[in-house]
Each structure stands twice: as structure tokens, then as C-alpha cells.
Amino acid sequence: MPNLSTKFMGLNLKTPIIAGSSGLSSSVDGIKKLEEGGAGAIVLKSIFEEEIFHELNDMMKDVPETSRYMERFDYHDLVIKGENLAKYTTLIREAKKAVAVPIVASVNCSFSYEWVDHAKRLESAGADALELNMFFMPTDQKRSAEEVERAYFNVVEKIVKEVSIPIALKISHYFTCLGQIIQKLSKQGISGLVLFNRFYSPDFDIEELKVTQTNVFSSPGDLAMSLRWIAMMSQKVDCDLAASTGIHDGEAVIKQLLAGAQAVQVVSALYKNGPTCIQTMLDKLEDWMIRHEYETLEDFRGKMSQDKSTDPAIYERVQFMKYFSGQQEIL
């Protein structure tokens, strides 16, 4: 039978499918189910800096402005962060006792760099690695693209000094020069890059005139973005790459491995179909490897990356020249 094991960030994974950060990995029972389903590693539900910021605001809103001394604000800020970190480190410790697969702590950083200072506590709790999910919304018109991008490097530089466990950076595709950014970040001492994170998507209720949310889950059609960039960058970076978003079946897993990914992250498929869908994906991967006579993932990993393509320009083509040519007579 084919060997489905892989390495990501130096961690030994029994399968290339990682259960990404979600509510499904926020409890020990959920984590056990993900391991039983076949996950090679599990990323815990993120600590959201934004969530703690709003929690602090809720606590302070009933306090008269005249009483909002900075010392009091700092005190509550410290208490809330301490309580959340304590709960999170407990989850890490209990998860490590309950399962054998690597446990990855996750921090969702959106406002400041303060959470970087707590990384040591997550490491001390037993996390095998740390995933830093970063996205600084480019809405501040006073900051240049260079300043926004520099913020990512500042966080990475700081956290690499704080911990010795592997660090993965989960980023978006919203960069001026994405290829250069991916290359530069890969050289900053991190062990992995996850392409790409997924965002809250606002929508409008035109009857109630209020903002709602849409596309909570990814769809198979979302695979194309990460597939393109994994294929283009897998042979050009100094760290491992993991693919994320749009991976809903075994075929998508195979495609990302062919593009050059060391592993893939799955979340939406788990919500829709439960942890057992991981094994369904693995069965597809195993059957495909048998039919193509591959014994290990390394036998075909990156086989369809840009560097190994006979037509590398196809990965950078953005217009539908061939598809729409000759369609005028139909129209």
C-alpha cells in the first residue's frame, strides 16, 4: 500500500491532510474526532486578538469616561488576555495528552504585535508548532503598501526570536507583489507558509437594510487561487508550503500535492461532511497512487509545478484568450 506520510515544518505527519483552525478543534472531544478521522495534524481554534479587543470594549462601555483611567484600561486588558491565554494553554496540554498527532497553536493577529510576546506560553504548554494567521486590512489610506507589508515582517522577526518551535504564517493573496512577498517571508526563519487564509465576507439584506455575512464556507471553485500560487512558488521558497481554501475532496488534495504542497488544510469540508470526509479524501489519494504506481508522496510532489512544466507561462496567464476565441459567432 502507498505511504501517505509527509513532513510539514519538520513535523512528521501520518497523512498530508491537516485539520485547519476552526470551532471543530476548540475542544478535546472535537480534536479526538479529527484525529480518528485521519487528520495528520490539527490546528487549534485561533485566539482572536480582535475578539479580545471587543470583549474589553464591552467591559469598559459601562464605565463612565471620567473613570476610564489608563491604569484601569491596562488592568482589564491584562486580565482578559490572561484568562484567554490560560484557557488556551489548558486546551493545548489536554490535547497533547489525548492525541498523538501534532498540535498547532494558532493566533489571529489583526491589531497589534502584543500576542507575539505570549508565544512562549503557547510553546511551554506543549504546542508542536505555531500558526500565525495575519491580515492587516489595507484600508488605512495614510499607510503606504510598503508600510503595511513591513508590518508582516516586523511580527515574523519578533516571533522567531521568541520561540524555538516551528512557525507557520498564514497569509492572504492581497499583496502588491505577492510572489516577491512569499519569497521574502520564506527567508525570515519561518518553517511554513499557508496559502491562503479566508475572510469574513459582508453582504447586504436589501429588505432589512442591514449587513449580513455570506459565503461562510469555501467552495470547490475556490481551489484555483491557491493551486496557481502553490504551483508557481513551491520550488522557489525556503520553507514548506501548505494549501488552504477550496479543498473539498481527494482530487483537490492530489492537485495540490502535484503543485508542490507539503500538506493541505481542510475546514469547510469538515463542517459540511464531518471528520470522516478526511478518510474519504485519503482513500481517493491512495487509489490514485496505486493506479499511477506511486509509492510515496515524494514520487509525484511538485510534478506539475511551474518549474517542472513544459509551458511555465500558462501559470501566469490571466486572460481567457483561448476559451473565448471564436465565441463571437455563437453570440
Rounded to 10 degrees, the C-alpha dihedral 225/226/229/235 comes to -160
pTM for the whole structure: 0.86
- CATH architecture of the domain 6-324 equals Alpha-Beta Barrel (3.20)
Q: Return the beta strands (E) in 55-200 as ranges.
A: 103-109, 129-134, 167-171, 192-195
Give the separation between CA 83 and CA 55, rounded to whole angstroms. Answer: 12
pLDDT tens across the length of the chain (331 residues): 999 999 999 999 999 999 999 999 999 999 999 999 999 999 999 886 544 443 334 433 444 554 444 444 343 344 446 677 889 999 999 999 999 999 999 988 765 556 666 788 899 999 999 999 887 766 667 778 788 888 889 888 988 988 999 999 999 998 889 999 999 999 999 999 999 988 767 889 999 999 988 777 889 989 999 999 999 999 999 999 999 999 999 999 999 999 999 999 999 999 999 999 999 999 999 999 999 999 999 999 999 999 988 777 777 766 655 555 555 554 4
Residue spans of the domains in the chain: they are 6-324
Q: 279 Cβ partners below 8 Å, 6+ apart?
A: 37, 38
